[in-house]
């Protein structure tokens, strides 16, 4: 997408390529790896998804701020940069995938909760490790989940911004096209809050899951 510059006398094109707000994806692989390290019983559960990306809908980034401190220059106060302020939470909204029912061998039939909520719930359990269990319910077996204590509950989350134009790549049999990507990383992220969307019998819109995720920094790669 290109900006078209207009004025009362003429119209001209621009070489300034802008990023569309609807062309992006989130790589959740590091979250999956972290959760399956803490809950080894879920390795097969999340590996079966064969997905690094879930159906994300919206990301709200925090403002990166440096505190303003007043200093005296003679008799006049002057604003100068002070300490860096901690980032507020990044808010990520996912589409909740429907649960499923499956049978283990010839034995039990298990109701499986939506994978997105399941993953985020277990991640929050890891963040709380060392505290009393909120519930400890195992989505697969209906029993209390067993947790392996892990040294860190944080991970990096990469957000890929996708260009809406193709970059030509020459190959032996002709020319192929590949979209350009730029990445922004939530450094040392962890989950602080989790909320299911409201349910409404009068609406057929998808149900969403919103996660509040603190991070140390948002780094362009």
Structural contact between residues 26 and 53, judged by C-beta atoms closer than 8 angstroms:
yes
Mean pLDDT of 191-212: 90
pLDDT of residue 26: 87
Domain ranges of the chain: 23-61+70-220
Mean pLDDT of 202-214: 90
pLDDT in tens, 114-160: 678 888 888 888 888 766 555 555 555 555 555 566 778 899 999 98
Q: Structure tokens of 116?
A: 């997105």
Q: What does pTM read for this prediction?
A: 0.73
Structural contact between residues 208 and 93, judged by C-beta atoms closer than 8 angstroms:
yes
Residue 45 phi/psi, 5-degree rounding, is: -60, -50
Report which of 142, 146, 112, 141 is spatially closest to residue 126, judged by C-alpha positions: 146
pLDDT surpassing 50 at residue 184: yes
Query: Which of 9-18, 20-29, 182-191 is predicted with the least confidence, judged by mean pLDDT?
Result: 9-18
Residue 62 confidence class, pLDDT cut points 50, 70, 90: very high
pLDDT of residue 16: 67
Q: Which of 2-6, 38-42, 82-86 has the highest mean pLDDT?
A: 82-86
Q: Structure tokens of 175?
A: 């020319």
Rg of the chain over all Cα atoms, to the nearest angstrom: 23
Architecture of domain 23-61+70-220: Roll (2.30)
pLDDT surpassing 80 at residue 51: no
Residue 83 phi/psi, 5-degree rounding, is: -75, 155
């Amino acid at each position: 997408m290109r900006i078209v510059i207009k004025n009362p006398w003429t119209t001209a094109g621009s070489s300034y390529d802008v990023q569309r707000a609807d062309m992006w994806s989130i790589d959740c692989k590091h979250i999956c790896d972290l959760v399956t390290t803490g809950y080894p019983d879920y390795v097969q559960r999340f590996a079966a998804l064969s997905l690094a990306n879930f159906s994300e809908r919206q990301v709200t980034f925090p403002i990166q701020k440096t505190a303003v401190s007043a200093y005296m220059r003679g008799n006049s106060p002057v604003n100068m940069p002070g300490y860096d302020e901690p980032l507020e939470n990044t808010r990520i909204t996912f589409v909740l995938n429907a649960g499923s029912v499956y049978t283990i061998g010839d034995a039990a039939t298990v109701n499986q909760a939506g994978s997105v909520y399941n993953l985020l719930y277990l991640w929050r359990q890891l963040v709380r490790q060392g505290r009393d269990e909120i519930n400890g319910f195992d989505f697969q077996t209906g029993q209390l989940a067993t947790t392996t204590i892990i040294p860190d509950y944080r991970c990096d989350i990469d957000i890929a911004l996708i260009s809406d134009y193709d970059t030509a790549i020459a190959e032996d049999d002709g020319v192929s096209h590949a979209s350009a990507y730029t990445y922004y990383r939530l450094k040392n992220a962890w989950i602080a809050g989790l909320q299911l969307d409201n349910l409404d019998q009068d609406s057929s819109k998808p149900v969403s899951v919103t996660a509040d995720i603190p991070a140390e920094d948002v780094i362009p790669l």
